[in-house]
Amino acid sequence: MESTHVSTGPAGAEAADLRRAARDHLWLPYSPPGLQGRGADDIRIIGRAAGTRIWDIDGREYIDGISALEAMILEQADEGIIAAMAAQARELAFLDVFRWAAPVQIELAALLTSLAPGMEYAHFVPGGAEADEAAIKLARQYHLLRGDVHRMKVITRQGSFHGVTQGAMALDGGYFASRNVVYDGGMTWGRTAPAPACERCDFGKASRHLACVHSIERLIVAESPETVAAVVVDPMASAIAVACPPDDYMRDLRAVCDRYGVLLVADEVITGMGRTGRLFAVEFSGVTPDFITVSKGLTSGYFPIAATLVAGHIAEAFSSEGGTAFRHGHTYAGHPIGASVALHVVRRVCSERLWERAETSGRRLLDGLRGLSHHRFFWDARGRGMLIGLEIVLDQATGKDFADPVAAGNELRARCRDLGLITLILHPGNILFLAPPLVMDDADLDRIVAIVDQALTEMEAEWR
């Protein structure tokens, strides 16, 4: 099975000029200057997209198995979204978001807080990292307003990832430290709880990579509870090898946070907007966090916008006597065009109940991947809804890991790409990540499984 070639985008000299310009002038995230990556053609130039497929300028066709960084939950070239953007641009393209509000922002804030459990206010920012950072600032200022002047520390989990702004990097679970990144050690308030990766979990949990609540509580106690402001977690532990903890995990964590007066931030930048089979992943546990951060699927990738959703008791501390303003903002926070897109996307997700489709489609994809257990490299396939991780090891019979998990993961990812499937790898490297658009049809879901099957077969024939 090979990726399909169609005629699209520039060709010949024009394509060569594009590659030359990219090499000489474009610096992509997580890459050296120019289109340099793993292998000569690792980073490819995409010419167009439609539905849940994309084509590069050489005419190769790909299934988007990762929703363009987990954001594109709907189709490419969606006419409804395009029309919403155009209509808002004609009516009000932009405004001073520090001193004025647009109707579309207010409508979006009201809709999101009506849907997100326990949330009453929405603070808009441009992206997911900024949403997490705003939650951290709000949490610390909340404690300050209450007289808890020493509550500055924020806890995350080993292997977690919450963004690349300086504040979000202080929450790094090892993602940057392990990659020779120059990091400002002056931001010393971030703390990381261990994420056990045991063959048999001491606490009876299912996954080898589950970051358990017990380690977080031990860390709160060790750091002195009166110095800890918040705990930030992705409810499905997406970046931590798609651990997908059991529902009582978030309930236990909520209880731990309450016991020590620590605030709970649910980072739903990836998991929100129906991806896991619920509109918000915290719905599985019935837990009400103090903050929920959302982005990515909020606009299906069509426009950069995110929100820090805030519970009422947090907001009350700012508005009551002795309260103060939250002195934080971004020029493009709550951009009217982005808000109009988000309104359209959220309304469609709700009207079509796309979280139910994600649950059904995700089960089909997960069952298909688990059907690949005959492969020597197969260890486990796990996930919830359209959020799935496939873990590979060197030898299934013994559970022996690859000497270089990142190299192994990248090899599988590259083979899938060459067969026409876009994926990612996750911490600790040997996890193939799949998060397709919620609207992907069954035929493409089955083709994803077939491509991974072939990629594993090819890799196992060459890797020993």
Same structural domain for residues 265 and 131? yes
3 state SS of 35: coil
Same structural domain for residues 145 and 28? no
Nearest residue to 271 (alpha-carbon basis) of 174, 367, 167, 358 = 358
Give the pLDDT score at 33: 81
Q: Answer whether residue 8 is part of any domain.
A: no
**pLDDT per position as a tens digit, 400-437:** 999 999 999 999 999 999 999 999 999 889 999 999 99
Q: Answer whether residue 221 is part of any domain.
A: yes
How would you write 271-333 as a 3-class SS string? Answer: CCCCCCCCCCHHHHCCCCCCEEEECHHHCCCCCCCEEEEEEHHHHHHHHCCCCCCCCCCCCCC
Give the pLDDT score at 41: 47
Neighbouring residues of 285: CB distance < 8 A, sequence distance ≥ 6: 235, 247, 248, 249, 250, 251, 254
Same structural domain for residues 309 and 458? no
Mark which of 351, 375, 396 sits at the end of a domain.
351
Same structural domain for residues 35 and 94? no
Give the pLDDT score at 37: 53
Same structural domain for residues 259 and 391? no
Q: How many domains does the chain have?
A: 2
Give the pLDDT score at 444: 97
3 state SS of 189: coil
Rounded to whole angstroms, the Cα distance separating 309 from 258 reads 19
CATH number at residue 278: 3.40.640.10
How many alpha carbons fall within 13 Å on the CB side of residue 256?
23
Per-residue pLDDT for 39 more than 50?
A: no
State the virtual CA torsion across 123, 74, 351, 281 in degrees, nearest 10.
-60
Nearest residue to 314 (alpha-carbon basis) of 115, 142, 137 = 142
**pLDDT per position as a tens digit, 109-128:** 999 999 999 999 999 999 99
Say how many residues make up the chain.
464
Rounded to whole angstroms, the Cα distance separating 68 from 54 reads 10
Rounded to whole angstroms, the Cα distance separating 383 from 237 reads 10
Same structural domain for residues 429 and 344? no
Q: Output helix, strand, coil percentages for the chain, rounded to the nearest 5.
A: 40, 15, 45
Same structural domain for residues 40 and 108? no
Same structural domain for residues 141 and 263? yes
Same structural domain for residues 54 and 93? no
Neighbouring residues of 179: CB distance < 8 A, sequence distance ≥ 6: none
Mark which of 326, 351, 376 sits at the end of a domain.
351
Per-residue pLDDT for 3 more than 50?
A: no
Rounded to whole angstroms, the Cα distance separating 235 from 250 reads 7
Q: Answer whether residue 6 is part of any domain.
A: no
The model's confidence at residue 5, banded by pLDDT at 50, 70 and 90, is very low
Average pLDDT over residues 344-348: 98
Q: Answer whether residue 435 is part of any domain.
A: yes
Give the pLDDT score at 158: 81
CATH number at residue 451: 3.90.1150.10
Q: Answer whether residue 72 is part of any domain.
A: yes
Average pLDDT over residues 128-143: 94
Q: Answer whether residue 161 is part of any domain.
A: yes
Q: Could you tell me the residue range of the domain that residue 122 belongs to?
A: 79-351
Same structural domain for residues 205 and 58? no
Q: Please report the beta strands in 9-157, taking only residues with DSSP state E, as ranges in sequence order.
A: 46-50, 53-56, 61-64, 119-125, 153-157
Peptide bond into 437 cis (omega under 30): no
**pLDDT per position as a tens digit, 358-378:** 999 999 999 999 999 999 999
Same structural domain for residues 114 and 197? yes
Q: Which residues pair with 156 in a beta bridge?
A: 192
Q: Answer whether residue 3 is part of any domain.
A: no
**pLDDT per position as a tens digit, 280-336:** 999 999 999 999 999 999 999 999 999 999 999 999 999 887 778 888 889 999 999
Same structural domain for residues 93 and 177? yes
Give the pLDDT score at 7: 47
Give the pLDDT score at 196: 56
Q: Answer whether residue 229 is part of any domain.
A: yes
Give the pLDDT score at 14: 81
Q: Are the C-beta atoms of residues 145 and 323 closer than 8 Å to each other?
A: yes
Per-residue pLDDT for 182 more than 60?
A: no
Give the pLDDT score at 44: 83
Mark which of 319, 351, 383 sits at the end of a domain.
351
Between 231 and 186, residue with greater pLDDT: 231
Per-residue pLDDT for 31 more than 90?
A: no
